[in-house]
Structure 1
């Protein structure tokens, strides 16, 4: 999308991606990285505040990153990121939910010599319009 810091336009937006979360993937990810019962045990999940199996927020974050790379960063000048601000999971992701991304450039500022940081708001939305995750990524771009 953007080759250099100078190419970045504050206020620019993009929508992209589509990824279906499966039961098997939710269980596998959680067993390895976030083994809480509402992510790994369907019977326990039924008794939880979620009323059923839900994906780990960290799984949602990983899928979001995959979509952001493919839809925004892959063919850009992005040099990685220096962090994430305001990470939130307002609604759980369940098996069968299809996730997509909305991105907005919210600011840009010089960071270090030859490098600028571009705060980018990322909203992960389910097909029904419900927001699953939000954050502001602090993406680095080379300065000309």
Structure 2
């Protein structure tokens, strides 16, 4: 079982929004306080792309095929994980937290693990593979405690 100690940061994120919470009490009765929030604008791919997909000549007379266009929306989601990992690295170097709990979908957790610096990864005490960014804080508190008790 992982204990949610006083001062532990809980970062609840999806691929477009991150909530930064700090536990003000102990594991038995967690009290998570939102102290920061980051959100990026990520319009649909259709709104971000300027051109229609390109065309290329195929084998055969007069044959042309379309080429896949860049998925700008998906690229921005991947960049968000990299930006978040960098922010956590900066905060870890300032000594802002000793322990970190990550709450995100399995996909985002994987992206974060790939981007995270060793110093930050060493401070991760638990991962909760759920998307909770749009849940109220009291619901996040109870779900995180339940997940940590089960671990």
TM-score range, shorter chain: under 0.3
Higher relative contact order (CA 8 A, sep 6+): 1
TM-score by length of 1: 0.27
Based on CA coordinates, which of the two structures has the bigger radius of gyration?
2
Normalising by structure 2, what TM-score? 0.26
The structure richer in strand per residue is 1
Higher helix content, 1 or 2: 2
